[in-house]
Amino acid sequence: MSKAFTKEPAGDDDEDGEGGGLPPLPPGTKNYMTPQGYQRLRAELLHLIDDERPKMVETVSWAAKNGDRSENGDYLYGKKRLREIDRRIRFLTKRLDIAEVADPSAHHGSDQVFFGATVTYANSRGDERTITIKGIDEADALAGEVSWIAPIARALIKSREGDEVRLQTPGGVETLEVIAVVYPAPGDRA
């Protein structure tokens, strides 16, 4: 039977957590995002729609004209890549539609931890660490950014400089001291 008449695998559908490699939002929560994070995701979406997808459609169309599609690598790869692009477009569209943009600079000068704060804390051994609390779609652990739904962020939110908070870890409860809380100044593009 020709592949043209076979059904795609059931796992190809896009769910909230798929298409972006990100975990789904917890039920009943908002998709908080910084203005910069929102703009980055929007720019990616527009790039996929305006540049990547049309080029891939053109490649697939060209490859389809070259005869037997079952052995045509350009066609098979192009169709697969087109599905990936479409899945990412659906994912980004959904996430941007439900995004709630929260500007962290509104808390500039505050010593209390809210969304968008850059927090320096120390554990009981005196090891200091600095993290920035961001949206689930924009957090990058390698850059010291954590999602606002991460356990460390949930433990720190609403605390103030000098407070001690308790964090439940797999190794037990750990006490952390909040050393500094910083927000970007209004107009900053951090």
Against a cut of 0.85, is the pTM above it? no
Residue 1 CB burial class (10 angstroms; 0-12, 13-18, ≥19): exposed
Q: Could you tell me the CA-to-CA distances from 59 to 70, 75, 137, 184 in Å, in that order?
A: 16, 8, 30, 44
d(CA 108, CA 96): 25
Model pLDDT for residues 26-64, shown as the tens digit of each residue: 777 788 999 999 999 999 999 999 999 999 999 888 888
d(CA 129, CA 153): 13
**φ/ψ of residue 165, rounded to 5:** -125, 155
Give pLDDT, residue 10.
Answer: 43
Model pLDDT for residues 77-127, shown as the tens digit of each residue: 889 999 999 999 999 999 999 999 999 998 988 899 999 999 999 998 989
Please state which of the four CATH numbers 3.10.50.30, 1.10.10.10, 2.70.180.20, 3.40.640.10 is assigned to the domain occupying 104-182.
3.10.50.30
Q: Where in the chain is the domain with CATH 1.10.287.180?
A: 29-101
The answer to whether domain 29-101 has CATH 1.10.287.180 is yes
Give pLDDT, residue 96.
Answer: 93
Does position 68 have pLDDT exceeding 80, yes or no?
no
